Amino acid sequence: MLGLFDKSHKIKGTVVLMPKNVLDVNELNSVRSGGVGGVVSGLFGAVADVTGQVVDTATAILSRNVSFKLISATSTDAKGNGKVGKETYLEKHLPTLPTLGDRRDAYGIHFEWDANFGIPGAIYIRNYTYDEFFLVSVTLEDIPNQGTIHFVCNSWVYNFKDYDKKDRIFFANKTYLPSATPGPLVKYREEELEILRGNGTGERKEHERIYDYDVYNDLGNPDKDVKLARPVLGGSSTYPYPRRVRTGRKATKKDPKSERPASELYMPRDEKFGHLKSSDFLTYGIKSLSQTLLPSLENIFDSDLTWNEFDSFEEVRDLYEGGIKVPTDVLSDISPIPVFKEIFRSDGESVLQFPPPHVVQVSKSAWMTDDEFAREMIAGVNPNVIRLLKEIPPQSKLDPTLYGDQSSTISKEHLEINMGGVTVEEALNGQRLFILDYHDAFMPYLTRINALPTAKAYATRTILFLKDDGTLKPLAIELSKPHPSGDNLGAESKVVLPADQGVESTIWLLAKAHVIVNDSGYHQLMSHWLNTHAVTEPFIIATNRRLSVLHPIYKLLYPHYRDTININGLARNALINAGGIIEESFLPGRYSLEMSSAVYKNWVFTDQALPADLIKRGLAVEDPSAPHGLRLVIEDYPYAVDGLEIWDAIKTWVHEYVSLYYPTDDAIKKDSELQEWWKEAVEKGHGDLKDKPWWPKMQTRQELIQSCSTIIWIASALHAAVNFGQYPYGGFILNRPTLSRRWIPEPGTKEYDEMVKSPQTAYLRTITPKRQTIIDLTVIEILSRHASDEIYLGERDNPNWTSDSKALESFKKFGSKLAEIEGKITARNNDSNKKNRYGPVQLPYTLLLPTSEEGLTFRGIPNSISI
C-alpha cells in the first residue's frame, strides 16, 4: 500500500486558532484608563474595529510567520529520535465553519511527506509574530494507512524567543502508557514534561507554562497595613494547607515569608481563561466588585450610618421586588460593567434590584418554618455536614487542657418535649436523632471573632428528629460562648427550644439565625472553598508535572481541571484575601482562612467519595441488597439519593476507562509516570498530610479507579452541589444570613424590650446589615451562574480528545447514563410523597441535574470547578 506513495507528496492539513486581540478580558485591568467606565467603553469600541479586520489582518500576519514541522512516531533520525520534517507555513484562511465557535479561524496548510518519514506523531510549531495566539487544533488528512490524525492543542503559543528560541510541541491524540510510547517519541514526551516542571526558581513570567508548588503566603498585605497581615497557610503543623501554584513573587518588606500582592497573578498560561466568554465576564465582575463596588458602598456607609440598616422584612424583599435606592454615583460606577447589567436590574438612576431568589419565588414566608430550616440541611446548599447522633449529650473533641469542659448541656428532657412520646433511647436505637454540629469548628476562634468590631456569635449545636413522614424536626439549639474569664475555663451555653408564640418564638427564630450564620461561614470556607477549590489544585499541578498529555489518566482527568487554577488565583486576589469580600461579609472575618486550615487538619481524601462520606457521618450503612450497596438512614435525602447515582455513573465510567489500559495491578505498579504523579500529589501537593495512613498506595487498579473517581466527583458533582444553590437559597439574606451582630437579648435590657415590641427589628439588627448584604448577594449571584460555554459532566470540548474508539464508546455510555439519571431525578421531584425534595418553600432539589442552560438555573454539573 505504501508503495503508491514512495515519492514525496503533500499532506493536507487544517489549523484552527484564535489570534490575540483586545477582547482578552484578563488584560483589562492592565490597560485601565479613566476608571471602569473608560475600560468598558474602550473595550466595546474596540470590538467593532477589530471584528471587521480580524480575518484579513490575521491572515496577512500569520501566513508566513507561523511554521510547522511534522515529527515521526515510526521513523528515527541518527540519534534514535523521531524524524523531523521540513518546515512549512500557514496558508490561506478557510471559510469559517459553524462548528468552530466564536472567534476561531481555520487556515489551510500542506506538509511534504514520503513513505520513509512514517506516521506523524507530533508537530513542532514556531510563532515568529510579536503576539501570542491560541492554538485550538491541527488536523492532518489522507495520511496513507492512517486516514485522519487529530492534534488537540488548546494552548497559547508565544513568540519563539520566549521559549529560548525553541519550538512548541504538540502530540497527536493517541494514548500511550510510558512503557508503550513509540521509541521515536520517548525523548519528546520526557522533554515536554521537564518544561512543564521548570526548575523551581525565579519569578514566573506570563508566557510560561510551569507548574510548581507553593504555600498560601499571598493572602495578606502587611506592607499596606499591619492589620492586613495573615499567617502563611501550608508548610507547618500549626497551619497545614493544600498547595497552590507557585508564582515566585518577591517577599513583602515586613514579612519575608509572605509574597507581595499583585494585580495579576501568574498562572500557567493555558490555565487562564481564553478569549471573551461569559466566564470572563463573571470573573471580571468579581474583580470589579472588589475594586469598585466595595469602596463605593464604604463611602455611603461613612456618610450615612442609618443607610446600612434594613428597617423591615419588606425592605429586604425590596431588593428583588421594587429595588432599593442607592446614591447615583454608585450605580454610575458599576453599571458599565457588563456582568452587573445582568445582576442588577437597574431602574432609572438610583435603584438597585436583584433577581428574585428561588427560595421565595413561591412563598415569601415559608423560609421561616422549622420544616424548611431542617430540610435545607439535607437538600440545601450545604447538605453534607449533618450527621447521625449516637449519644446524648453530644461530646466535644476539643482539648480540655486548652478549652476546658466543652460538654453539651442538652439533656434528654430538652428533647423529649417535642418527640411525640418517643424516648431518647428509642430514637437513638432507631437512628432517628441527628445533629448539625459547629461547636468544635467555631469555639476555638470565638473569643477572637467576637472581639471584631461588629461580631457577636455563638458556636452552635442543633438536634433534629426524624419524623414518621421522613422529614426532620428541630428539637433544640445549643448556643455556646467561651467563658468570659478565659477559653480554658470551658463554655457558657444556653439551650433554646422551639416555640411559635410570643417572645419565645422570636428567640427561637434568632437561635435559628445564629445556626445559619455558623452554617453559612462553614459552607463558604470549608464545604465550598477548602473541600473543592483548594484540595483540587494540588492534583492539577501534579497531573501537569508528571503525566504526559499522551497518558490515559491525563486524558481522563484533564477536563475536570478546566479553569480551576484561574478561579483559585482570582479568589486569592479578591475573595479570600486579607480585607477581601469573604472577610468582609462572612462571620469569621479575618480568621476565615485560618479556620479552614484547622478543618484541613482532619481532611481525609478517601472520605471525599460520597459513599464513604455518608457512612462516616452515619447517614448510610453498607447493605449489598440496597441500591448502590448502601441503605440511607434518611431515605428521602435528596443530595444523597441523587448524588449516589452520579457517583456510581462516574465510577463505572472510570472503571471501564482504566481497564482499557491497565489489565492487571502489576501494570499500575510499573507505570513510572503514574507512580511519580501520585507520589508528588501526596508528598508535595498535600504535603502537610503526607504521612496520614489513609492515603491510597496506588498499587492496584482499584486504588486508581477509586482515587480518580474521587477527584472527578470533587471537581464536578460535589462542587455543583455546594456552589450553584448559593444564590437560590442565600440570595434571600433573611434565609441565610452571613453575619451575627448581637447575641440573644437578656431580659431587662433595651435590646430585649425592642425584641418584644418589634421582632423584625430585633432579627434585622442581629443579622447581616445592608452593605454586607449587597456585597454578599452580588458575589453569590455571580458564583451561582453558569457560563455560556460551560462544559458539563459527560461532555468534552473536542470530540477528538482521544483516538481510542473503545474509550469513546465507553464515554458515550457515560453520557447516556447521565441523561437517564436526569430523568429519574425529575421524576423524584414530581413525587409528592417525597416531602424533602421540595419542602415548604416548594423548591424542587435540582442541583444534581447534570445539564443546564446559561445563567442562574439552580441546576447543572460542570466538569470542573470553573467558577
Report the distance separating Cα 793 and Cα 680, nearest Å: 27
Residue 422 and residue 473 in contact, taking contact as beta carbons nearer than 8 Å: no
Residue 634 and residue 472 in contact, taking contact as beta carbons nearer than 8 Å: yes
The answer on pLDDT for 287 being more than 50 is yes
Q: What's the whole-number mean pLDDT along residues 19-31?
A: 45
Detail the DSSP E strand segments found in 4-104.
Answer: 9-19, 66-76, 82-84, 88-89
β-sheet with 105-113: strand ranges across: 105-113, 9-19, 133-143, 147-157
Residue 544 and residue 555 in contact, taking contact as beta carbons nearer than 8 Å: no
Identify the weakest region by mean pLDDT among 29-38, 143-152, 213-222, 494-503: 29-38
Predicted confidence (pLDDT) per residue in 829-867, tens digit: 999 999 999 999 999 999 999 999 998 999 999 999 998
Predicted confidence (pLDDT) per residue in 457-485, tens digit: 999 999 999 999 999 999 999 999 999 99
Predicted confidence (pLDDT) per residue in 497-509, tens digit: 999 999 999 999 9
Q: Which of 152, 808, 759, 853 is nearest to 507 (CA)?
A: 759
Q: What's the whole-number mean pLDDT along residues 629-638?
A: 97
Residues carrying an active site annotation: 528, 533, 719, 723, 867
The DSSP string of 761-815 is HHHHHHS--HHHHHHHHHHHHHHTPBPTT--BTT--S-TTS-S-HHHHHHHHHHH
- DSSP letter assigned to residue 742: -
Predicted confidence (pLDDT) per residue in 308-334, tens digit: 899 999 999 999 988 777 666 666 666
More confident residue, 105 or 543: 543
The answer on pLDDT for 41 being more than 50 is no
CA distances from 390 to 618, 619, 633 (A): 9, 12, 13
Predicted confidence (pLDDT) per residue in 774-821, tens digit: 889 988 998 999 988 899 999 999 999 999 999 999 999 999 999 999
The answer on pLDDT for 578 being more than 80 is yes
Neighbours of 134 (CB within 10 A): 21
Q: What's the whole-number mean pLDDT along residues 602-617?
A: 98
Average pLDDT, the chain: 89
Predicted confidence (pLDDT) per residue in 189-228, tens digit: 999 999 999 999 999 999 999 999 999 999 999 999 999 9
Q: What's the whole-number mean pLDDT along residues 290-317?
A: 75
Q: What's the whole-number mean pLDDT along residues 366-388?
A: 98
**The model's pTM:** 0.94
Predicted confidence (pLDDT) per residue in 64-111, tens digit: 889 999 999 999 999 999 999 999 999 888 876 555 555 788 999 999
Report the distance separating Cα 720 and Cα 505, nearest Å: 35
Predicted confidence (pLDDT) per residue in 418-461, tens digit: 999 999 999 999 999 999 999 999 999 999 999 999 899 999 99
Question: What's the pLDDT at 353?
Answer: 83
pLDDT above 70 coverage of the chain, percent: 86
